[in-house]
Amino acid sequence: MRILVTGGAGFIGRPTVARLMADGHDVAVVDLVRPDAPLSGAHLVVGDVRDEETLVPVITGADVVVHLAAKVGLGVDVDDIVDYVSSNDLGTATLLRAAHGAGVGRVVFASSMVVYGEGAYDCPDHGRVAPGPRRLSDLEAGVFDPRCPRCDAVLVPTVVTEDAPLDPRNVYAATKVHGEHLLRAWARETSGGAFALRFHNVYGPGMPRDTPYAGVASLFRSELAAGRAPRVFEDGAQRRDFVHVDDVARAVVAAATAEPGPGLVVPLNVGSGAVTTVGGLAQALADTLGGPAPVVTGEFRIGDVRHVTASSDRAAQVLGWTTQIGLRAGLRTC
């Protein structure tokens, strides 16, 4: 197949392109950045996905588009909002219009776990409930888990599935939700089909470092590389799902070669299926790198998500995909 990968020179893009090429596909890449090393023989176009003059020649003749290009991170303040919306929402809209014009009817979209906001929670008395915002008084008292909005009991976290309500908590998350909505509008109007892959905490070789937008694995890795102890906020018991970038690339390739069905957008969690605490990750990295033990600070940011971990059962059923790299083995590749 001929496959166009936007953002193919990035953290997730590079191993994805390498796998597609190894499987014998004809791969073109559009990326704003020219990589230092060649992309496994793929045809590279340096350009912006918001520019249809860049997109149209390279998308023509493609069978599938894998749309990984995006401005990532959370957004520091409201001044970031225009850049995020332009890069992500306008970029996705421009791509979908170009795909329609070129007769491309299949898209794989890089979504994110951040579309959920908080993860899933159960109340001992009321079952599955949506938590409200955490209270400042609770956080100051060291009660970090959210409470039931009906009875005020402390909630118990569980895994989130693709049918959970979407609750974006920052600008980046809002653009990913809107990207999924744009996909649905495109699919209905064109009878195209798409997978929206909701990546969880991706880590591995090439992950961005020393940036406020980086994931917690990257931040801890940078601290340890500098000989400093990782600083863990709250009590370190925040639950996350860390998935290796090579496993994520395998999921993208599986989606690119699968058929979502005409007019359908299929959301799929892409996570390891293993629950890891933030404190546990910091300790595992310190053990792997021989660095100082993490320090649990008790500090908090009132807007942070407490727990979000995934069930990736649907991806296993639909794509036949499961992870192959455990956390300890994966950390040794960073």
Using the predicted structure, report yes or no on whether residue 213 has a pLDDT greater than 80: no
Using the predicted structure, report yes or no on whether residue 3 has a pLDDT greater than 80: yes
Active site residue 121: no
pLDDT score recorded for residue 158: 96
Q: How far apart are CA 177 and CA 230, in angstroms?
A: 32
Q: Are 144 and 153 in contact (CB under 8 A)?
A: no
Per-residue pLDDT of 129-159, as tens digits, reads: 999 889 999 999 999 999 999 999 999 999 9
> Amino acid letter at 93?
A
Q: What is the mean pLDDT of residues 328-333?
A: 93
pLDDT score recorded for residue 212: 46
pTM metric for this prediction: 0.94
> Amino acid letter at 258?
A
The tokens describing 234, both together, are: 């709250």
Q: How far apart are CA 67 and CA 252, in angstroms?
A: 10
Q: What is the mean pLDDT of residues 256-276?
A: 96
pLDDT score recorded for residue 207: 86
SS (H, E, C) 17-59: HHHHHHCCCEEEEEECCCCCCCCCCCEEEECCCCCHHHHHHHH
The tokens describing 7, both together, are: 């953002």
In degrees and rounded to multiples of 5, residue 98 shows phi and psi of -65, -40
Q: What domains can be seen in the chain, in order of their start residue?
A: 2-120+158-332 (3.40.50.720)
Sign of CA dihedral 136, 141, 145, 146: negative
Q: What is the mean pLDDT of residues 79-89?
A: 92
Per-residue pLDDT of 101-128, as tens digits, reads: 999 999 999 999 999 999 999 999 999 9
Q: How far apart are CA 115 and CA 42, in angstroms?
A: 31
The tokens describing 308, both together, are: 């979000």
The single residue of 84, 172, 203, 213 carrying the catalytic annotation is 172
Using the predicted structure, report yes or no on whether residue 214 has a pLDDT greater than 80: no
Residues 54/56/61/64 CA torsion (nearest 10 deg) = 80
> Amino acid letter at 92?
T
Q: How far apart are CA 268 and CA 198, in angstroms?
A: 6
Residues, the chain: 334
Using the predicted structure, report yes or no on whether residue 49 has a pLDDT greater than 70: yes
Q: What is the mean pLDDT of residues 259-288?
A: 96
SS3 at position 266: strand
Sign of CA dihedral 122, 124, 130, 136: negative
Q: Are 224 and 289 in contact (CB under 8 A)?
A: yes
Q: What is the mean pLDDT of the chain?
A: 93
